[in-house]
Amino acid sequence: MSRPAGGSLSGRSPLYQRRPLLAGLVRQWPLFLVIVAVGAGLVLVAVQQWRRGLVVIGLALVLAALLRLLLPLPRLGFLAVRSRPLDVGLCAVAGVTVAVLALTIPHA
């Protein structure tokens, strides 16, 4: 069975033509996931839970490092900025540092 000229078996146009915003979110899901996690941390900071919020932000950076390490390049989207070792190292070190500093600051 050959494909129609539209490119899909169902005869419909591709997702990026029908719903470009949805296609962009699907294509950029690793970055979207990290941004949502950082946003949750910022919300916690805004409601006076700064320690928990900073830990969530640190864990989001560690998640970005893990996604960068485990996913192939075509699936990463804009999460891939530099070389893999540099991206993983910077995100992991920054995430662990933020989380550890937030947990080690003494309560006032």
Summarised one tens digit per residue, pLDDT across range 6-23 is: 555 667 887 667 877 777
Helix, strand or coil, per DSSP, at residue 60 = helix
Average pLDDT of the residues in 44-68: 96
Helix, strand or coil, per DSSP, at residue 47 = coil
Q: What is the pLDDT of residue 7?
A: 52
Q: How far is CA 106 from CA 23, 50, 51, 54, 102, in A?
A: 45, 13, 10, 14, 9
Residue 69 pLDDT class (50, 70, 90 cuts): very high
pTM of the entire structure? 0.78
